[in-house]
Amino acid sequence: MPIVTTLQALDISDVKNIVVTEAVQDTDTGEYVREIRIFQAREGTAEESEAMSSVLTVRLRSAVKKQIKIAVPELEF
């Protein structure tokens, strides 16, 4: 289902890490899929704050692999 709005804003604080997965082909649908995963530091003691919890996963899908290519180098994303 396509997103029909033209502007979305999402504020996530205390970001600990951002992971971008490789584009892989889904064997069930044949589409290419990649994810952008945002992790946040867990609240609590010092030991617990080192742990991360997933806050948001954005899944990109396309029939054409190059359509979900991220052009910006990962270190600059």
Q: Region 30-34: what's the mean pLDDT? A: 96
Better-predicted residue by pLDDT, 24 or 74: 24
Quote the pLDDT of residue 34: 95
* CA–CA–CA angle 38, 42, 44 (5° rounding): 170
Reported as a single tens digit per residue, the pLDDT across 55-71 is 889 899 999 999 998 88
The residues spanned by each domain of the chain are: 15-76
Quote the pLDDT of residue 32: 97
Q: Per DSSP, which regions of 1-77 are E strands? A: 15-20, 24-25, 32-41, 52-62
Does 53 have pLDDT greater than 80?
A: yes
How far apart, in whole angstroms, are the C-alpha atoms of residue 1 and residue 3?
7
Token reading at 47: 């030991």
